[in-house]
Amino acid sequence: MKWTTAISTDEGGEHLIWGEKLSALMQEKTFTESTFLLLTKRLPTQKELKMFDMLLISSIEHGIAAPSIFSARVSASVGNPLNATLAAGLLATGQWHGGAVEKCAYYLQSDTTAEDIVTRALAQKERLPGFGHKVYKDKDPRAEELLEAATKLGIAGTHTQKVRAMTEALQAHKPLALNIDGAMAAILSDMGFSWRIVNGCFLLGRLVGMMAHIDEELTNEKPYRRLDDTDITYTR
């Protein structure tokens, strides 16, 4: 099996990542900067760094009710090594839990215009990724906060404009607010992240929350989580 890569190599006793020395990254850069480098092939500006830190932190922990979190705890509770419990948590994210960022970024990075994206989605009765929220009908304050920061930091560009154009095009037919997934998709696209891995921003943040919960589960709880009888209705 043959493998070809341009990401990293060893040269003269140094490990180089997109041409930067790993040892120099360790001495001079933050984890967020190094992550930005790996995923976009260049180091961020100070403003991009601030923005990327904000986005990563925004996913870090939203409470034990999230499927990614309690599923990781269940896997820990039946006796699995850390890597397997984190994998279990990742497998409890998906199309309906984090996945909209990728789909929205895919549209934003495509050649299709904002108007055409909206028209097609409405015609095919597809739920437009990055729009709509159970609670926030008019405006999603978290999305606005991120976009405001992006504007202030000078990062908002063509993809943010496109997602705003989608919002307007949608408004005429269905008044759904841009949500946090749509904001993340636009800002990450403006900073040069491929749609294929924008969802990694959410997953990377979320992994940290999982770890905290796995530690708590193993420290405080007895093994082997099962549903209680009162949770179950048998309908046959």
Which single residue is written with the structure tokens 């993809």?
Answer: 159
Q: Is residue 232 involved in binding its own copies (CB under 8 A)?
A: yes
Q: Contact with its own copies (CB under 8 A): which of 57, 113, 115, 154?
A: 57
18 near its own copies (CB under 8 A): yes
Instruction: Give residues 95-134 in contact with its own copies (rule: CB under 8 A).
Output: 95-99, 102
Sole binder of its own copies in the list 14, 30, 139, 148 (CB under 8 A)? 30
> Which span sits near its own copies by CB under 8 A: 108-116, 155-163, 179-187, 197-205?
197-205
Full DSSP string of 73-139: HHHHHT---HHHHHHHHHTT-BTTBBTHHHHHHHHHHSSS-HHHHHHHHHHTTPPPTTB--SS-SS-
Nearest Cα neighbor of 7 from 31, 34, 30, 39 is 39
Q: 44, 71, 108, 117: which one contacts its own copies (CB under 8 A)?
A: 71
159 binds its own copies (CB under 8 A): no
Which range of residues in 160-168, 171-179, 184-192, 206-214 is near its own copies by CB under 8 A?
206-214
Asked whether 178 and 130 are in contact (CB, 8 A), the reply is yes
Please report how close the Cβ of residue 36 comes to its own copies at its closest, in angstroms: 10
* Apex 60 CA angle, 55 and 63, nearest 5: 135
Q: Does 189 bind its own copies (CB under 8 A)?
A: no
Contact 195, 105 (CB under 8 A): yes
Cα three-residue angle 118-182-199, rounded to 5 degrees: 120
Q: Please select the residue that binds its own copies; options are 107, 114, 187, 213, rule is CB under 8 A.
A: 213
